[in-house]
Structure 1
Amino acid sequence: MEGFDVSAAEKLSAHYETLENTDSIVPPATLLERLRILRGIVSTEGNALLLAASQLDSEAVQAAEMTANCEGCVVVTGVGKAGIVGKKLVATLASTGTPAHFLHPAEAVHGDLGRVRENDLVWAISNSGRSEEVVRIAPHLRENSAGLIAITATAENPLADAANCIVAIGKHSEACPNGLAPTSSTAVMMAVGDAIAMLASQLRSFSPQDFARFHPGGALGQKLATVDQMMRNLDACRIAPPHITVREAMVRTSKNGRRTGAVMLVDQQGILVGIFTDSDLARLLETRNDTALDEPISERMTCQPTTVHSATLLQEAIAVMSRRHISELPVVDANSRPLGLIDITDVAAMLGDRDEPSILPFAS
Structure 2
Amino acid sequence: MKSKKYIIESAVSTLKLESDAILNLTNHINDDFVNVVQAILNSKGRVIVTGIGKSAIIAQKIVATFNSTGTPAIFMHAADAVHGDLGMIQRDDIVMCLSKSGNTPEIKLLAPLLKQSNNLLIGMLGQIDSDLAKQADFILNASVSKEACPHNLAPTTSTTAQLAMGDALAICLLESRDFNTNDFAKYHPGGSLGKRLYLKAGDLALKNEKPSILPNAAVKDVIIEISKNRLGAVVVTENNQILGIITDGDIRRMLENHTNIENITAADLMNTNPKQIDKDELALLALEIIKANNITQLLVTNSGMYYGLIHMHDLLQEGII
- Scaled by the length of structure 2, the TM-score of the pair is 0.71
User: Which of the numbers 273, 277, 294 marks the counterpart of 2:247?
Assistant: 277
Q: Residue type of the partner of 2:232? A: G
Equivalents in 2 of 1:344, 1:133: separation in Å? 55
Cα shift at 1:60: 1.6
SS of equivalent residue, structure 1 residue 77: strand
| Native 8 Å contact 1:154 1:170 kept in 2 | yes
Of residues 12, 16, 24, the one that matches 1:51 is 24
Partners of 1:311 and 1:143 lie apart in 2 by 53
Corresponding residue of 1:232: 204
Question: Is residue 290 of structure 2 the alignment partner of residue 321 of structure 1?
Answer: yes
Aligned length: 316
Aligned ranges 1:28-107 → 2 under 5 Å? 43-67=16-40, 73-107=46-80
Change (3 A) 1:34 1:240: closer
Q: Is the 8 A contact 1:231 1:331 kept in 2?
A: no
**Structure 1 residue matching 2:155: 3-state secondary structure:** coil
Is 1:190 paired with 2:163? yes
| 1:171–1:318 distance in 2 versus 1, CA, 3 Å | closer
> Given the alignment of the two structures, is residue 133 of structure 1 paired with residue 136 of structure 2, yes or no?
no
Instruction: Specify every segment of 5 or more residues in structure 1 that has no aligned partner in the other structure, as ranges.
Output: 1-27, 351-357
Contact 1:45/1:184 (8 A) holds in 2: yes
Residues 1:305 and 2:274 are matched in the alignment: yes
Distance of 1:183 and 1:276 partners within structure 2: 59
2:138 equivalent to 1:165:
yes
The answer for the alignment partner of 1:343 in structure 2 is: 311
Instruction: Supply the distance in 2 between the matched residues of 1:244 and 1:143 (Cα, whole angstroms).
Output: 84
Identical residues among aligned pairs (%):
30
Q: Deviations over 1:316-352 (max 9, x none)?
A: 544533443432112345x3355543313445xx3xx
Q: Is the 8 A contact 2:37 2:169 kept in 1?
A: yes
Q: 1:48 deviation in Å?
A: 3.5
Shift of 1:59: 1.7
Q: Does 1:214 align with 2:184?
A: no
Q: For structure 2, list consecutive stretches of 5 or more residues without a partner in the other structure.
A: none
User: In the alignment, which of 221, 234, 239 is matched to residue 263 of structure 1?
Assistant: 234
CA distance in 2 between counterparts of 1:37 and 1:292 reads 70
